[in-house]
Homo-oligomer: A and B are copies of this chain.
Amino acid sequence: MMTNLQPKSHKIVILAEGSFGVLESKTATVLVRYLPDNIVGVIDSTNAGKDVSEVIEIGKGIPILRSLSDAIEFRPTMLAIGIAPPGGELPDEWRSIICDAIQSGLHVMSGLHHFLSEDVELMEMAEKHNVILWDVRKPPDVLPIATCKAADVDSTVILTVGSDCRVGKMLSGIEITKEARTRGINAEFCPTGQNGIMVWGWGIAIDAVVSDFTAGASEEIVLEGAKWHDLLIVEGQGSLVHPGYSGVTLSLLHGSMPDAMIFCHQPSREIVARYSVPLPHITEMISHYELLTAPIKPAKVIGIALNCYDLSEAEAEEAIYSVERETGLPATDVVRFGAEKLVDAIQQYLR
C-alpha cells in the first residue's frame, strides 16, 4: 500500500527555489540527509554555485543549481518538491518548473496539500510524457474508523511524540530504526508525514486524512508494518499542546496504540513555533501523553530525544544530563550522540 515510486531507486533533483536551508525547505534537508547518494542537485538560484554542505552542513558534493536546465546534465529521473509551507499550496512560480520537469521526462514527488495528480493540466502533461506524479500526502481512498486493532499486533510498537512540530520526531524514529537494525532487530520505521514517506518509500500522511479517519489511518500503518516486522517505530506528529495540530497528534496516539513512547524536544525552544503559546515543563508534557494513553492502552515515555542542533557540544551534554536528572529517563541527541541509549530502553519492551 501507500506508494508507487521508490525514491531510493531514482536520481533526484530537489526543488527548493528561494528557500534552501530555511525552515520551509525541511523536506529538502531531510532528503539530503537520508538519500544523499540519490540527490544529484538542489535547485535554488539564490544559492546557486555553492555546495549543499555550505548551506546546511550535510550533503557534501551535492551542487546547488540555478535552474532545472542546469540539472539535466546530471540525468535526474525525478523532481522532488523540497518545500512544505503551512497550508501546502503550490507557489505559482514553481508551476512552470514542474511543467518543465515533466516535459523533460522526470517523475515528480510532492508533499504539497495541492495534489498534482488532481491537477488536470499537469496530469495530461504527465500522461503524455509517461511520468508519475506522486502526491505523498494523498491518503488511500478507503480508510477505516479506528477499531483498537493495533493493540493486538505481535510487534512491539514505539511512537515518537514531542513538545512541538520540528523537534525531531521523524529523525529520531529513523535513527532508532537504523540502530535497532544494526543490532539485528527486525525493525521498521512507519512514516506518518510527507518527509518520512519520501525518505522511506511508504506510509500515510495522516495530517491529510479526514479527521474521522485519522486514528484509523494510524492503525492501518501499524497493521501494515506488523505484517513483516518485530519492532515498529512510528513517526509522531505535532504535539498535544500545538493549537493547530494537537488533534492529529492525539489521533495518532490513540490509533497506533504504542507499547511505549520516546519524547522528542528541542531544549532551546520555549514557545510553540509560530504561536505565542509557552511550552509547559517537559515532565508536564510527558505526563499529558501518558495520561491520555491510560484509559485506552497505557504507555509510558521510556526515553528522550533532544534536538540540540543549536547548542554547543558542552551545552548539549548539559541539556541531556539535566533532562535525565529531571525525568529519570535516558536521553540523547540522536544526531550528535547516536540512538544507542534509546534502543537500550526499547529492547526491554521487545516481545
Task: Decide if A231 is an interface residue (CB 8 Å cutoff).
Answer: no
Known: A241-B295, A250-B250, A288-B292. A148 touches B210 (CB 8 A): no
Interface-located stretch among A70-78, A201-209, A221-229 = A201-209
Please state if A277 and B250 are interface contacts (CB–CB under 8 Å). Answer: no
Question: Which B residue sits closest to A257, measured CB to CB?
Answer: B243
Interface-located stretch among A154-162, A211-219, A313-321, A338-346 = A211-219
Give the residues in chain B near A294, CB-CB below 8 Å: 280
Give the residues in chain B near A146, CB-CB below 8 Å: 243-244
Please state if A251 and B211 are interface contacts (CB–CB under 8 Å). Answer: yes
Please state if A247 and B248 are interface contacts (CB–CB under 8 Å). Answer: yes
Task: Decide if A30 is an interface residue (CB 8 Å cutoff).
Answer: no
Please state if A212 and B216 are interface contacts (CB–CB under 8 Å). Answer: no
Known: A277-B295, A292-B288, A295-B280. A243 touches B148 (CB 8 A): yes
Please state if A246 and B291 are interface contacts (CB–CB under 8 Å). Answer: no
Of the residues B145, B253, B276, B277, contact of A86 by C-beta under 8 Å: B145
Please state if B296 and A212 are interface contacts (CB–CB under 8 Å). Answer: no
* Copies of this chain: 2
Give the residues in chain B near A212, CB-CB below 8 Å: 88, 113, 207-208, 244-245, 248
- In the bound complex, how far is the Cα of B181 from the Cα of A284, in angstroms? 40
Known: A148-B275, A277-B148. A247 touches B295 (CB 8 A): no
Interface bits A138-153 vs B (CB < 8 Å: 1, else 0) = 0000001111100000
How near does chain B come to A277, taking the closest CB pair, in angstroms? Answer: 5
Task: Decide if A279 is an interface residue (CB 8 Å cutoff).
Answer: yes
A residues 95-149 near B (Cβ < 8 Å) are 113, 144-148
A residues 271-315 near B (Cβ < 8 Å) are 275-280, 288, 291-292, 294-296
Q: Contact size class for A?
A: 35 or more
How near does chain B come to A300, taking the closest CB pair, in angstroms? Answer: 17
Task: Decide if A255 is an interface residue (CB 8 Å cutoff).
Answer: yes
Question: Which B residue sits closest to A280, measured CB to CB?
Answer: B295
Task: Decide if A254 is an interface residue (CB 8 Å cutoff).
Answer: yes
- In the bound complex, how far is the Cα of B147 from the Cα of A5, in angstroms? 35
Please state if A209 and B210 are interface contacts (CB–CB under 8 Å). Answer: yes
Question: Which B residue sits closest to A285, measured CB to CB?
Answer: B295
Question: Which B residue sits closest to A252, measured CB to CB?
Answer: B247
Give the residues in chain B near A147, CB-CB below 8 Å: 243-244, 275
Task: Decide if A240 is an interface residue (CB 8 Å cutoff).
Answer: yes
Give the residues in chain B near A241, CB-CB below 8 Å: 292, 295-296
Task: Decide if A184 is an interface residue (CB 8 Å cutoff).
Answer: no
Known: A148-B275, A296-B277. A247 touches B214 (CB 8 A): yes
- In the bound complex, how far is the Cα of B213 from the Cα of A208, in angstroms? 9
Task: Decide if A87 is an interface residue (CB 8 Å cutoff).
Answer: yes
- In the bound complex, how far is the Cα of B288 from the Cα of A244, in angstroms? 19
Please state if B215 and A247 are interface contacts (CB–CB under 8 Å). Answer: yes
Please state if B296 and A247 are interface contacts (CB–CB under 8 Å). Answer: no
CB pairs A–B below 8 angstroms (6 shown): A145-B245, A148-B276, A207-B210, A211-B214, A214-B247, A246-B254
Residues on A lying within 8 angstroms of B by beta carbon are 86-88, 113, 144-148, 206-212, 214-216, 240-255, 275-280, 288, 291-292, 294-296
